[in-house]
Structure 1
Amino acid sequence: MPTAAQLIRDLKQPGFSLELLPPLKGNSIKRVFSTIDTLKEFNPLFINITSHRDEVIFRNVDNGLFERKVTRKRPGTVAVAASIQHKYGIKVIPHIICSGFTRSETEYALIDLNFLGIHDLLLLRGDNSQRDKFFKPQDEGNAYALDLINQVNNLNKGIFLDSTQADAFDTPFSFGVAGYPEKHEEAPNLDSDVYWLKKKVEAGAEYIVTQMFFDNEKYFEFVRKCRAVGITVPIVPGLKPITLMNQLTVLPKIFHVDIPEAFANEIRKCKSDADVMQVGVEWTTMQARELLKNGCNLLHFYTLMATESVRRVASEVY
């Protein structure tokens, strides 16, 4: 079976891919399936499944003290990926992250994925814990995406963490990484960010999927910088339609992206979230058409709270 990177390179016509979140702990997978059912008419090249770290919460107990508990709000990335691949026959790409996982936990997740026949990954450092201002790796965990890449490369060679040497997997893992057209929040500048991105490509990343952006020129400039330093792998643009008024401030705060003033001004004119959704669809459709016109052969859509908007955009451009 071809890897995601091979599918991207071999596209003969504009392609469509999407990203999903596993359901919250205790919830049904039906909402995930509903999103796929809504969008499968556009023949997704692949579906990304996000991964989420443990978080610490504190609860009141009867004696007036607080009880510290560790919880993971969205477990099941591996299981959700396997369920989707089994039900729909669509290539799935689970996110594997450093944040909140030990190297041993990562190794066992990779072994499980190999057993399940899932060999495409997106490798990321992941976000900070909610209680930490700056990123802290898990004890005995990978600190950087490059560390995670090295672990995957070793496992592809049959080298396990305990130095056990086994036969290499019949199908090695193929992986992509994330790119940030407006730079990662912790990078001193975009050039530095691109420098480290090149290191990830040199270590084996076969494609790049970008963080969402709302200004195509930022993506084009990012691609120019990447090509100038010798990054030749596909750089897939990530798009997200805005659907709610509060996203005008929430998305820049969480994802560290700018919203162009022309777009922000149109959102401010809206009287309801339904109006915002329409403006968001129109803006993302404009972005998508311009990206396709300028040679992007695959558009990647973030579907959280935006499934219907993504469907409307895709209907206009595919």
Structure 2
Amino acid sequence: MSPPVSHQSPPGTSAPIALSYELFPPRNETASASLWDTIRELEGTNPDYVSVTYGANGSNRDTAVDLLNRLMTESTLRPLAHLTCVGNSAAELAGTIAELLDHGVRGILALRGDLPTKPADAPDAGSLRYAQDLIELIRHVEQQRSALLCAGRVAIGVAAYPAKHPESPSIEHDLEVLLAKQRSGADFAITQVFFHADQYRELVTRARRAGVTIPLIPGVMPLTSLRRVRRLGELTGVEPAPALLDALGRTTGAAEARRIGVAATVDLALAALDAGAPGIHLYTFNEHAAALDVLDRLALPRPARPGPLRRTALPELVQA
């Protein structure tokens, strides 16, 4: 295990390492209270943004939009809104995009979304099929609102895959898809979870050779739960490191599992940073403790920047 390393570049040579987290909308009031405890803890690390997931076919659209609104009005965090296109028409998605922009969202992670598993749930003929279509739609809606955006641009992110996408015929096809998304207007990519240190480095090498120029941000997850690690291995089609599975399987309690998982996650993040990663994106599962442990071990320098005022604090300021 490597000691904490500062990856800050000399002043003026490059941007600082970016930091971001992923959150998902709560399912009930108890989950909401726990999530906001996590949000308050994460605020103290001054991340560049936090992404908010969006259910398949927009299944949690209202709770996702509500969380995005609350982040903008009740916290200092900048939200990146996930948006999936499978099962939604261009008109429906254009309305959602317009609503997000009108609410102040300036970053969208454009995703295809999971395909339905039952024939009865097959998307309508008029629904968008690919993330590339969604990117182009976002740019179209953005152009219609260019005056409202002060001629600015919406930052559009996409997914990248360190290992072959489970539905893809080849790694080469994955690169073709990533290039197509870049040509359609994607600004950056966040990778799916990976379990082996060389997977991110090899992705970057392949992508750059193929002509991908956008930043490729590694997504890492605190590998503290054996059940979660195994499940993600099934979803991604990538076998987790056997040594990690063995170590997690022999733990005698949550504290030991957290120590082992955090150390493994830090090793992956450090390997990605050594390979030139422009940032780290932490999949939190709405839990802050292990994510903050990872961040402490990485010792990433954070630029000092004042956060925006929360609206809930304005009446007190006026009265003062």
Q: Which category of TM-score, normalised to the shorter sequence, fits these structures?
A: 0.7 to 0.9
Three-state SS of the structure 1 residue aligned to 2:192 is strand
Residue type matched to 1:207 in 2?
A: F
After TM superposition, the structure 1 = structure 2 runs for residues 151-166 of structure 1, keeping only pairs within 5 Å, are 151-158=137-144
Measure, in 1, the Cα distance between the counterparts of 2:127 and 2:64: 18
Measure, in 2, the Cα distance between the counterparts of 1:27 and 1:106: 30
- Candidates 19, 24, 44, aligned match of 1:21: 24
Identical positions, percent: 26
Residue type matched to 1:124 in 2?
A: L
May I ask how many residue pairs the two structures share in their alignment? 285
TM-score (norm 1): 0.82
Measure, in 1, the Cα distance between the counterparts of 2:61 and 2:141: 26
Three-state SS of the structure 2 residue aligned to 1:156 is helix
Q: 1:261 to 1:91 in 2, by over 3 A?
A: same
| Larger fraction in helix | 2
| Map of 2:130 onto structure 1 | 144
Measure, in 2, the Cα distance between the counterparts of 1:32 and 1:115: 25
Deviation at 1:300, TM superposition (A): 0.2
- Candidates 10, 29, 37, aligned match of 1:34: 37
RMSD after superposition: 2.4
Q: 1:105 to 1:297 in 2, by over 3 A?
A: same
Deviation at 1:306, TM superposition (A): 4.3
After TM superposition, the structure 1 = structure 2 runs for residues 283-302 of structure 1, keeping only pairs within 5 Å, are 283-302=264-283
CA contact (8 A) 1:208 1:233 kept: yes
Is 1:80 equivalent to 2:61 in the alignment? no
Measure, in 1, the Cα distance between the counterparts of 2:92 and 2:181: 22
Q: Which runs of 5+ in 1 are unaligned?
A: 1-9, 56-71, 159-165
- Candidates 41, 44, 48, aligned match of 2:47: 44
| Map of 1:95 onto structure 2 | 82
CA contact (8 A) 2:217 2:279 kept: yes
- Candidates 92, 106, 109, aligned match of 2:96: 109
Structure ranking higher on relative contact order (CA contacts 8 Å, 6+ apart)? 2
Between 1:251-260 and 1:278-287, the stretch displaced more is 251-260
CA contact (8 A) 2:136 2:185 kept: no
Between 1:91-100 and 1:240-249, the stretch displaced more is 240-249
Three-state SS of the structure 1 residue aligned to 2:285 is coil
| Larger fraction in strand | 1
Deviation at 1:130, TM superposition (A): 5.0
CA contact (8 A) 1:24 1:75 kept: no
Between 1:166-175 and 1:249-258, the stretch displaced more is 166-175
Measure, in 1, the Cα distance between the counterparts of 2:117 and 2:72: 32
CA contact (8 A) 2:158 2:189 kept: yes
Between 1:167-176 and 1:274-283, the stretch displaced more is 167-176
Q: Which whole-Å deviations, capped at 9, do the CAs of 1:25-77 have from their partners, x for residues lacking one?
A: 5666333221121222221110000000359xxxxxxxxxxxxxxxx357422
Measure, in 1, the Cα distance between the counterparts of 2:131 and 2:247: 38
- Candidates 189, 194, 198, aligned match of 1:208: 189
TM-score (norm 2): 0.81
Deviation at 1:139, TM superposition (A): 4.6
